[in-house]
Amino acid sequence: MNTVLLEASGIGKRFGGVQALKDVSLTIKSGEIYGLIGPNGAGKTTLFNVFTGLYPRDCGEVQFAGAALDLASPHAVAAAGIARTFQNIRLFANMTALENVMVGRHVRTRAGVFSAILRTRAERTEEAAIRRRAEELLHYVGIADRADDLARQLSYGDQRRLEIARALATDPKLLALDEPAAGMNATETTALRSLIEGLRRDGLTVLLIEHDVKLVMGLCDRVAVLDYGEKIAEDVPEAVRANPKVIEAYLGASAA
């Protein structure tokens, strides 16, 4: 089987009196699509925010690509190779689609003030490379024709795609998608599904939080279920679907 890309052990996070995450451990293998599901308030997004350095964790360790992951700042996490999208889309609304993706290249490049003003040859070459890469990524997610439109002018589905393109621009090893299908209609969800399958084909590892259980079950190699901040199951989709604890968490005790 594939090598382990991310290994989290004993992650805990408390907000005041609420234990949002309790001793959560999980392993994500290279090249797989790993689903994270759970009822509302189960701690999915909190776990995401811990993995991407937005929230400090109270305890636990994360190993990523064979080294301890520095969770001190979002920038360090991005540099290590984890990129994410947001449940509530957070694009740079007044910048063009292309510019949004170009910002993503900042993790892998260094933009200097003086080189920008002086237009050194190295600067021009690098900027052209960044622009080309950004165009490729827009093409990859299927919105190349909207490159010069402002992000806020894009349709909802295209904004989701743009956010994925921007995340891909950071050259991630792990792409974390926070409810990418939220608010999408059936056609958009189908298109999103083939986009994510394409990502897997191209060797990317994907961590997927999703409410749409059908999408998760159809897409993921393995699925973990969170309930009240605890992991109650982690297995292949069929096994998770049959797990009584999962059924109880979703439908209540009487249904189990």
User: Is residue 107 a contact residue for another protein (CB under 8 A)?
Assistant: yes
Cα–Cα dist 90/19, whole Å: 27
Strand-pairing partners, residue 177, are 208
Q: Show the binding pattern over residues 179-218: x = contacts another protein (CB under 8 A), - = does not.
A: ----------------------------------------
Under DSSP, is residue 158 helix (H, G, I), strand (E, B) or coil? Answer: helix
Query: What's at 67, amino acid-wise?
Result: A
Q: How far is the CB of 152 from another protein (least distance, A)?
A: 10
Give just the sign of the alpha carbon dihedral 27, 45, 82, 189. positive
Q: How far is the CB of 167 from another protein (least distance, A)?
A: 9
Give just the sign of the alpha carbon dihedral 105, 109, 113, 119. negative
Q: Which stretch binds another protein (CB under 8 A): 23-31, 59-67, 99-107, 203-211?
A: 99-107
Give, for 178, the enclosing helix (H) or strand (E): strand 174-178
Residues 53 to 92 in contact with another protein, rule: CB under 8 A: 54, 73-75, 77-79, 83-84, 86, 90, 92
Q: How far is the CB of 146 from another protein (least distance, A)?
A: 17
Closest CA to 210 of 183, 187, 244: 183
User: Is residue 159 a contact residue for another protein (CB under 8 A)?
Assistant: no
Give the residues lining the site for another protein (CB under 8 A).
52, 54, 73-75, 77-79, 83-84, 86, 90, 92-95, 99, 102-109, 111-113, 116-117, 123, 127, 130, 166, 169-170
